[in-house]
Structure formats: structure tokens, C-alpha cells
Amino acid sequence: MKPIKITETVLRDAHQSLAATRMSTQQMLPKLELFDQAGYFALEMWGGATFDSALRFLNEDPWDRLRTIRKVVKNTKLMMLLRGQNILGYKHYPDDVVREFVRLSVKNGIDIIRVFDALNDLRNVKVSMEATKEYGAHSQGSISYTTSPVHNVDLYVNLALELQKMGADSLCIKDMSGLLLPYEGEKLVKAIKAEVDLPLEVHSHMTSGLADMLYIKCIEAGADIVDTALAPFAMGTSQPPTESLVMTLQGTPYDTQMDMEVLLELGSYFRQLKNQFVEDKTISPLVLGVDIQALWYQVPGGMLSNLVSQMNIQNTLEKLPEVLEEIPKVRKELGYPPLVTPTSQLVGAQAVINVMGATRYSMIPTEVRNYVKGMYGRPPAPIDEDIKKLVLGNEEAITVRPADLLEPALPRLKEELGDYYRTQEDLLSYALFPQVALNYFKNRP
């Protein structure tokens, strides 16, 4: 018997992927205590885009959400997604900010921190993984999965071995765009399990219609944990449905032992909420189907739903197919970064400019410039020489860890925040999203 463990994503990735991260704490509250009775391994409920979205769109303090959920969900582990040196933002932060953010996340209730770097540059996850251990939480080292001429099983096994050396308590194959083919997943899980004796979690998305098949092959190959979403918030650019996997594994050696009745009750609550999001157009039907093209343009769930909502506002949605075709070209020119925040944003922004502008690269956003300068770390493959020249001129890109160039920032930030400072948590909100946090502080009672 090897019961498979399940991490539920409905409170984080599922609504980030389908509903532009707009689920509020109030909307989560009514059935929260039921999560504890279902038999989940963990509840992914914080991090990723939820922090930004809470402050920016929902007029909520993200730290309050964490504390509120922790108060009600007493036994199930709470998991968050952390972008290494990017924390939950879109740039690199100094080490003192990263360490303090991790400390407060654990203090406010997080049990497991899943850390990743968009470029798999492990220098960028070192400080957050160390801090996670130091403050007593479970450190999950994550591999950002992508396909390209330079990515292969050996490269991923090496990353897994490195993460183990860095003290990871478990590993995650993070297939944020649903690119991992089921039989490739089987090979990858077997190869990692043969070399690394750590629990292995598989995270994927249904975008291209593969993730449920993938999970079965990975489970048979030795994966220990998989990420799913309650049925109403499953499928499309989100995860495979929790209930379907639980039923599939029932009576097999992989039986999850989860309580189906509890899952059904949770499901009927979240179905109403989903219907609300569909009615008010927060959920676009565009993100609900199977998009087989995604295998080629590699857009992660959250990025597609954001791109669609942005282009909708700008009335340029008819150009979406062209932008999606442009994305792999830009990605190749930038050295095949896996597409996940923040690389997905900067590749997406450049692709939109290339399609809308008179010529490609007629404008280059600051983020893309910084990327080419090495300010996000080491790209998997060399960057196109012409683009390098366009951005750098005669300068050289940096080769050190980007955060090595950053001075400690907390004392300065505290001074800047002045009278708005109430708690150390406020300071971290401000460090990550200065303008957005300030607006929130100005309007709170």
C-alpha cells in the first residue's frame, strides 16, 4: 500500500489560473473548517499572485487571510508558493527582505514553503530555502519544468540533487503550463526517484488536457503527492479535479483514504462560487477548455487568464492568436526561460509589443532589459546576440547572483513608510508592492 497524498489548490492556484486570483477571504470562509476533515496532505492557500491581488484588487490584507485560514484550518498543512529571491513580486529583493518575509510567513501560520526560481538558477532560491529551515518550516525545492533543446531529464535530475544538497525536505516538479507529457513524466519521476530519496510532489495544469493522465503515470512511477483542485475550480488552465482522482485511486494500492462525502460538500459550496465568477465574467470561458496549442506556446494558466483580461480591456483580443505565436519566438531569443512569473510576464509583454508595434523589439520594457543584463539570473541557454547588442551595447551582462548587488533595505523602507507602519507585516507588504500597499494603508480604518 502506498496512499497518495493530495494538495488542494482551490484557494490559490485554481482561482489564480481561472479567475485572475479574485477569490476573497470572505468567499473562502464559509466552508473552511471542512478542509480539515477531508484528509488532505496540504492546502495551498497563499503566495503566488494572491498577495498582490488581495492588496490591489480586493482591498484585503493578505496577512489577515493567512491568519484567518490558520485559525480555522488547524490540522491540515498550509502551503505557500514563493518565487525565491523574487518573493511574491516581480524583481529581485535584498536578502534581508527575503529572510524577514519567510520568518513572518512561518510565524503567521505557513507550514510548507514551495520555493522556485523561474530560470532554475538555484542561487536565487538559496536564501529563502535556508530561511525556511531556520524558522522551522518544511522547505520544498521546486523544479520549473519546460521543454526546449537545452532541457532534458539529466538536467532535471541534477537540479533535484542540488536541491537535496541545499536541504530540501521534499521536491516538486512544477509543470506550470501543463507541458509534461504523461510518459515523459513517468521517465522523469523514475529518474529523480532513483537518485534522490525525498518525497516528490507533482504539480501540473489541465491546459492541454494531459495533467490527469500525467498524474496516473507519475503515481505509478513513484510520485508521493499530487496537486488537484475541487471539481468546480478544476480543468481548463487549472489543476485536474480532486474528486475524480480520489475516486480513480479508491481500492487500489494508491488509495488516498480521503473522505469523499466531505469533498462533495466542499464541491457544492465552491460550485456556487464558480457560477458567480462566470456570471460576473471574472471567469472567461476561454480558460475553461482544452487548448492543445499550449504545448507549443507554453503559456502558464495565470498568464493566459491575465493576458485575456488585459487584451479584453484594451479591445485587442482579436490579436491574441498572434501574440501566442510570438511568445515562443521571444522565448527562444531570450535563451529558453521556463515561462512562470516573472519570466512569463516579461516574455508576454515583449510579445505583445512585438505584435502591436511597427517592428519587433521597437520598444523593450525595463524588465526585459534587466533580464538581458542578467538581473534575473542565468538563462538556460545564451540570449540571441542581436538582442543582447540592442540592450547592452558594449556593456557586459552580470554573472554574479543578482541579489549580491543589492544593499539591505528594511531600515530604509521602514523610514519611508513612516506613520503608516503598524506591524512588521505592513513593512513587508510595503517592501513588495510599495504603491499598492500604501494605497491600502491610506484607506484602512
* Of 18 and 176, CB closest to Co ion: 176
Instruction: State the Cα–Cα distance between residues 189 and 191, nearest whole angstrom.
Output: 5
Closest approach of Co ion to the CB of residue 9, in Å? 7
To Co ion, the closest distance from the beta carbon of 418 in angstroms equals: 37
Q: Which is nearer to Co ion, 13 or 333 (CB)?
A: 13
Site stretch for Co ion (CB under 5 A), options 5-13, 189-197, 291-299, 409-417: 5-13
- φ and ψ of 302, to 5 deg: -60, -35
Binding mask of the shown chain, residues 128 to 167, with x at each position contacting Co ion by CB under 5 A: ----------------------------------------
Contact range with Co ion by CB under 5 A, out of 39-47, 176-184, 286-294, 356-364: 176-184
β-bridge mates for residue 225, sequence order: 5, 201
CB of 406 to Co ion, least distance (A): 28
CB 199 within 8 A of CB 159: no
Q: Which three cell numbers stand for residue 294?
A: 499550449
CB closer to Co ion, 176 vs 226:
176
Q: How far is the CB of 205 from Co ion (least distance, A)?
A: 6
Angle, helix 260-279 to helix 242-249, in steps of 10 degrees: 150
- The distance of closest approach from Cβ of residue 103 to Co ion in the complex, given in angstroms and rounded to an integer, is 25
Indicate the residue among 6 and 176 with the shorter CB distance to Co ion. 176
Nearer of residues 176 and 372 to Co ion, judged by Cβ = 176
Gap between the Cα atoms of 445 and 442, Å rounded: 8
The closest alpha carbon to 200, from 1, 3, 5, belongs to 5
Q: CB-wise, 13 or 100, nearer to Co ion? A: 13
Give the binding range for Co ion (CB under 5 A) out of 175-183, 252-260, 326-334, 382-390. Answer: 175-183
Q: How far is the CB of 212 from Co ion (least distance, A)?
A: 15
Give the one residue of 13, 186, 243, 333 binding Co ion; rule: CB under 5 A.
Answer: 13
Q: Which residue's Cβ lies closest to Co ion?
A: 13
Integer-rounded Cα Rg, in Å, for the chain is: 21
- Per CB under 5 A, the segment of 67-75, 173-181, 349-357, 366-374 that binds Co ion is 173-181
SS3 of residue 144 by DSSP? strand
Nearer to Co ion, 88 or 176 (CB): 176
Spatial CA neighbour of 198 closest among 169, 237, 240, 166: 169
Q: How far is the CB of 302 from Co ion (least distance, A)?
A: 7
- Buried b / exposed e over 411-442, threshold 16 CB at 10 Å, is eebeeebeeeeeeebbbbbbbbbeebbbebbe
Of 385, 361, 388, 384, which is closest to residue 372 (Cα–Cα)?
388
Binding residues for Co ion, how many (CB under 5 A)?
Answer: 2
Q: Is 340 in the site for Co ion (CB under 5 A)?
A: no
Cβ closest to Co ion, residue 10 vs residue 104: 10
Give the nearer residue to Co ion in terms of CB position, either 81 or 219. Answer: 81
Taking CB under 5 A as the binding criterion, the range among 6-14, 140-148, 178-186, 313-321 that sits at the site for Co ion is: 6-14
Burial of 261 (0-12, 13-18, 19+ CB in 10 A): exposed
The DSSP H or E segment spanning 202 is strand 200-203
Phi/psi of residue 61, nearest 5 degrees: -85, 115
Residues 6+ apart with CB under 8 A from 336: 146, 148, 149, 150, 151, 379, 380, 381
> At 79, is the secondary structure helix, strand, or coil?
strand
CB 94, min distance to Co ion, A: 27
- Shortest distance in whole angstroms from residue 235 CB to Co ion: 14
Task: Choose, by CB under 5 A, the member of 176, 188, 368, 391 that binds Co ion.
Answer: 176
Minimum CB distance to Co ion smaller for 137 or for 176: 176
Q: What are phi and psi of 5, to 5 degrees?
A: -95, 150
Which parts of this chain interact with Co ion (CB under 5 A)?
13, 176
